[in-house]
């Protein structure tokens, strides 16, 4: 039975959405192609109609996840509050692909690293646009520092087994950013 072009596109989007959630939740190495396809409701054999390898899936999933990850048109301070919140920390599968995947990307292919590089550049540019103008070099520096602090804080907050320390990492990073770019 031949699958329509529209159904192929929908299947591919579903695979990318599922892979993104699984990779962010469990880690790239812990997730198999078979697991992704099963979670997407598709057969393992259909995988190669969309991707050439798991490495290809990783790079394309990262590109897909980064393309839909943005703080939109809201205020930067609202984005910071939402990003550095327990709800985001506690839901890595539905959270930021940078915080969920950045540590694993260093072990991935050059294609995945290139996707992460472009995603980082795009996020820095979005933050620069949202920040009050502090002069081009100061705004650029504030965007990089803010994003690095935010991602690092979420990674650290997820890594510790002390809920109070985890909350404190989020709260103090949020407060630090507010005093620097607010």
Sign for the CA dihedral angle at 100, 93, 144, 159 comes to negative
Q: Pinpoint the alpha helices (H) of 27-162.
A: 33-39, 54-68, 76-83, 86-89, 97-105, 110-130, 136-159
pLDDT for 70: 63
pLDDT for 118: 96
pLDDT for 69: 64
- On whether the CB atoms of residues 14 and 41 are closer than 8 A, the answer is yes
pLDDT for 4: 86
Q: Quote the DSSP letter at residue 96.
A: -
- On whether the CB atoms of residues 96 and 88 are closer than 8 A, the answer is yes
pLDDT for 181: 82
pLDDT for 30: 96
How far is residue 146 from each of residues 78, 157, 179, 182, measured CA to CA in Å?
13, 16, 11, 11
User: What are the structural domains of the chain?
Assistant: 5-65 (1.10.10.60), 70-181 (1.10.357.10)
| Residue carrying the six token digits 């984005």 | 79
Q: What averages of pLDDT result for each successive group of 10 residues across the chain (182 residues)?
A: 85 96 95 97 92 96 85 80 96 94 93 96 92 82 96 98 98 95 74
Long-range contacts of 9-16 (CB under 8 A, 24+ apart): 11/40, 11/42, 11/46, 11/50, 12/50, 13/64, 14/40, 14/41, 14/42, 15/40, 15/42, 15/47, 15/50, 15/51, 15/57, 16/60, 16/61, 16/64, 16/65
């Amino acid at each position: 039975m031949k699958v329509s072009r529209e159904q192929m596109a929908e299947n591919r989007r579903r695979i990318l959405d599922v892979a993104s959630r699984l990779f962010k939740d469990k880690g790239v190495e812990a997730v198999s192609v078979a697991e992704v396809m099963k979670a997407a409701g598709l057969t393992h054999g259909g995988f190669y109609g969309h991707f050439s390898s798991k490495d290809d899936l990783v790079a394309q999933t990262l590109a897909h996840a980064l393309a839909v990850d943005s703080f939109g048109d809201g205020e930067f301070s609202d984005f910071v509050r939402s990003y550095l919140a327990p709800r985001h920390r506690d839901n890595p599968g539905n959270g930021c692909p940078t915080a969920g995947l950045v540590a694993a990307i260093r072990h991935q292919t050059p294609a995945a690293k290139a996707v992460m590089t472009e995603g980082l550049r795009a996020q820095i540019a979005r933050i620069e646009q949202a920040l009050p103008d502090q002069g081009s070099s100061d705004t650029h520096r504030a965007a990089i520092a803010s994003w690095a602090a935010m991602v690092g804080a979420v990674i650290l907050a997820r890594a510790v087994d002390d809920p109070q320390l985890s909350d404190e990492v989020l709260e103090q990073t949020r407060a630090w950013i507010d005093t620097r770019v607010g």
